[in-house]
Amino acid sequence: MVRPKKHLGQHFLRDKNIARKIVDALQPGAEQPVLEIGPGTGVLTGMLVEQYPGRLFLVEIDAESVDHLHQAYPALGHHVIQGDFLKLDLQKLFPKSFAIIGNFPYNISSQIFFTVLDHRDRVEQVVCMLQKEVADRLCAKHGSKTYGILSVLLQAFYNLESLFKVSPGAFHPPPKVMSSVIRLTRNARKELPCDELLFRTVVKQSFQKRRKTLRNALKHLNLPDSVDASPLMDKRPEQLSVEDFIHLTQQIEGLERVR
């Protein structure tokens, strides 16, 4: 038995039917490796190992859970990686496309998604459970109050689907919040038609003052009149679609090139 550790965000899913639904939601490519983040006691692992023999990898930070996983699934051998997902050398481990699944440790879910974005050319799909409030934010469309930085950055490269909700009672110990399972599937966009670093900066700075217009939020960038006069600048960040943010970045970038 693995004793749940709070500081690692350990809430073990007890409901096998829900585990089955999560595993079934993943549709990796034929030969693609599948990486499970935070398998814990292995409620998903048992199903995944049958479905993806030879191509399932686990990364788990908790030594006690790792011992348990080695005993329960000896066939996985060195595919069980003990460590921090955020510190993995993903490029080396998965030089080609792969898929990610997991009931994520909720305290690091945003950081997991920033890492996914860094490897977006190879991360084809993600199926995960996370805090419902965060899941709703990621999936939110422009015009919604909960639309934010990660919604824009992720939706630029992934199609996001909110699949189903899970109540605290399905876990041991029960978390204080509702949970939600979502799926991210890579879209057709290879590159942004603008400078990506600048795009990230514009999105982040716009949302830092989400109640203000972009004109106000981006004031310190000293944008010249031609950009300042853009109708987009009269809007608040949550009103801008991904395409709008791209367009705005192109306008700013055009200036940088001229300068």
Per CB under 6 A, residues contacting ligand SAH are 8-13, 37-41, 43-44, 59-62, 65, 84-86, 103, 105, 108
Residue type at position 91 = Q
d(CA 215, CA 235): 8
When the beta carbons of 61 and 140 are compared against ligand SAH, the nearer one is 61
When the beta carbons of 38 and 148 are compared against ligand SAH, the nearer one is 38
When the beta carbons of 143 and 168 are compared against ligand SAH, the nearer one is 168
When the beta carbons of 47 and 198 are compared against ligand SAH, the nearer one is 47
Distant-in-sequence contacts of 36-39, Cβ < 8 A, 24+ apart: 36/100, 36/101, 36/102, 37/85, 37/100, 37/101, 37/102, 37/104, 37/105, 37/112, 37/128, 38/9, 38/85, 38/102, 38/103, 38/104, 38/105, 39/65, 39/69, 39/102
Phi/psi for 85 (5° steps) reads -50, -40
Q: How far is the CB of 255 from ligand SAH (least distance, A)?
A: 40
Q: How far is the CB of 216 from ligand SAH (least distance, A)?
A: 37
Q: How far is the CB of 170 from ligand SAH (least distance, A)?
A: 9
Q: How far is the CB of 45 from ligand SAH (least distance, A)?
A: 8
Q: How far is the CB of 175 from ligand SAH (least distance, A)?
A: 9
When the beta carbons of 16 and 141 are compared against ligand SAH, the nearer one is 16
Q: Which residues pair with 128 in a beta bridge?
A: 102, 182
Q: Which residue is nearest to ligand SAH (CB)?
A: 38
